[in-house]
Amino acid sequence: MKKITLTMLLALTAVIAFCQPSSDAERNKGWQTDIDTMLSLMKQQHYVYKTKPFPPELLVKAKALKENIANYGDERMGLELEKLMYYMHDGHSYVLPIFTKKPPVYYMPIQFYIFNDGVYIIDADEPYKRLIGYKVLKLNGAPAEKVIDDMNGYVHQDNAYTVKWFAPTMMRFRAVYETYGLAPLSKNIVLSVVDRNNKPATETIEFIPSTNFRSIPKLIPSQLPGAPPAPAWLSKVPVNYWIEKHPEKSMLYFQFNQVLDAQDEPMAAFSKRLDDSLTSLNPKLFIIDVRNNNGGNYTLLTPLMDVIKKYETSHKDGKIVVITGRNTFSAAQIFITMVNRDTHALFAGEPSGSSPNFVGEDGNIFTLPYSGAMGNISYRYHETIPGDSRKWIKPDYEVTLSSKQYFDNRDPVMEYLSKKFN
């Protein structure tokens, strides 16, 4: 038998290593496959880019991402895929920051919101509930304003208000802070905050696995202990649509929270009830509040629009005011654009998270083969007002929300309108 020398053993080991790819090589190939798969799906399915060349920046970023796979953790790679989706330039093409075939993605068990005076913590799991009402100055040393500004370059969006709506949720994910020097798989993150007594402090937040993440949460009433009762616009957010009569003010308030049939009352039946209420009350002010409405099925809108147009034609001295916000999106945007097109309604609040005409359709879901990252590609164009190039419908009365107003459970828009039309 021939003696095996050390040199022969080393050579054999090298051959085995060459024939059997390392886990790093497999990972690199897997993420490259995901990038190529996503680009292929975007080219095949996206409303704009199935017939037009990709933006050059997208191809440059995709190439750079492939070259950096070894330098990024898996969670960071998921974030970078979302950055590629930014170049589709629509609010419905996205990659969710979770995987189905990789370990869990981690995020902070606290919820942020952007007010007109900064970023605040509005909700939290234990043991962080005591932080509700705190202002956030820095996250892992990065100023909160910079984090939000940077998100304008990678969060899928129709306009800047989509980012204001999405950013507070994206800011929770650990992967975001790898871009600001946080080590991959870090157990916690340090926040610089100002407490409710206006004193600066630092807080260490431990990341937890994110589960069942699918959509951006809607705004909730103030969670501060001892806060007053919730204002109307935050009191029944899960209810698709409801009305409140104010005969003493000659006003009818209609909150429209989802463009979907309610289980107990289809939208067509509700529209009839709304029409009856408008006829019996004969209000001078008809308020339609869509601040909590992120869309649904726009084909259900016809009977509702008929009621709104009927009110205007039969109430020559009446006024329609539509209250919009960053959460007004998708089918809700189609609704307010129809109101803008077909009536003389006034608008109040802040601009919506979408545009009068937009590329966007949910339900075209994909799952990438290596990571299991899930996303959506928009395949439809909604042109409610032909040729309209506005990024949003500018409010006639722009009223924004401060942290104090929110935590005190006040509604500055309704306060303004009550004075304006008293």
CATH number, domain with residue 406: 3.90.226.10
Residues 268 and 312 reside in one and the same domain:
yes
- Cα–Cα distance for residue pair 74/78, rounded to 1 Å: 6
Q: Which residues form the domain of 416?
A: 232-355+390-420
Token pair recorded at residue 18: 């060459």
Q: Could you report how far apart the first and last alpha carbons of the chain are, in Å?
A: 105
- Per-residue model confidence (pLDDT) at position 153: 86
Contact (CB, 8 A) for 400 and 350 = yes
Residues 144 and 281 reside in one and the same domain:
no
250 CB-near residues (< 8 Å, 6+ apart): 281, 282, 283, 284, 285
Q: How many residues belong to the chain?
A: 422
At 420, is the secondary structure helix, strand, or coil? helix
Element (H, E) at 311: helix 302-314
Number of domains forming the structure of the chain: 2
How distant, in Å, are the alpha carbons of 24, 197, 284 from that of 340?
55, 44, 19
Query: Which CATH number do you get for residue 160?
Result: 2.30.42.10
Contact (CB, 8 A) for 136 and 120 = yes
Token pair recorded at residue 204: 């260490």
Token pair recorded at residue 251: 């006003």
- Cα–Cα distance for residue pair 242/202, rounded to 1 Å: 43
Virtual torsion, Cα 105, 109, 114, 117, nearest 10 deg: -140
Q: Say if residue 127 is preceded by a cis peptide, omega within 30 of 0.
A: yes
Average pLDDT, 10 consecutive residues per value, the chain (422 residues): 40 37 85 98 96 96 97 94 94 90 93 98 97 98 96 91 95 95 95 97 96 80 95 97 96 98 97 97 97 97 98 94 97 98 98 96 92 95 96 97 98 96 87
- For the stretch 285-310, what's the b/e string if a residue is b when 16 or more beta carbons lie within 10 angstroms of its beta carbon? bbbbbbbbbbbbebebbebbbebbee
Residues 143 and 187 reside in one and the same domain:
yes
Question: Is 94 within the bounds of a domain?
Answer: no
Question: Is 225 within the bounds of a domain?
Answer: no
- Per-residue model confidence (pLDDT) at position 212: 66
The whole-model pTM stands at: 0.92
- Cα–Cα distance for residue pair 65/32, rounded to 1 Å: 9
Question: Is 397 within the bounds of a domain?
Answer: yes
DSSP string, 123-174: EE-TT-GGGTTPEEEEETTEEHHHHHHHHTTTS--SSHHHHHHHHHHHTTBH
Query: Where does a domain end: 176, 209, 242?
Result: 209
- Per-residue model confidence (pLDDT) at position 15: 37
DSSP string, 235-265: HSTTSSEEEEEEGGGTEEEEEE--BS--SSS
Query: Where does a domain end: 209, 241, 261?
Result: 209
Residues 191 and 237 reside in one and the same domain:
no
Question: Is 44 within the bounds of a domain?
Answer: no
Question: Is 51 within the bounds of a domain?
Answer: no
Question: Is 321 within the bounds of a domain?
Answer: yes
Q: Are strands 188-194 and 135-139 parallel, antiparallel or unpaired?
A: antiparallel
Question: Is 293 within the bounds of a domain?
Answer: yes
Question: Is 99 within the bounds of a domain?
Answer: no
Token pair recorded at residue 149: 């500004």
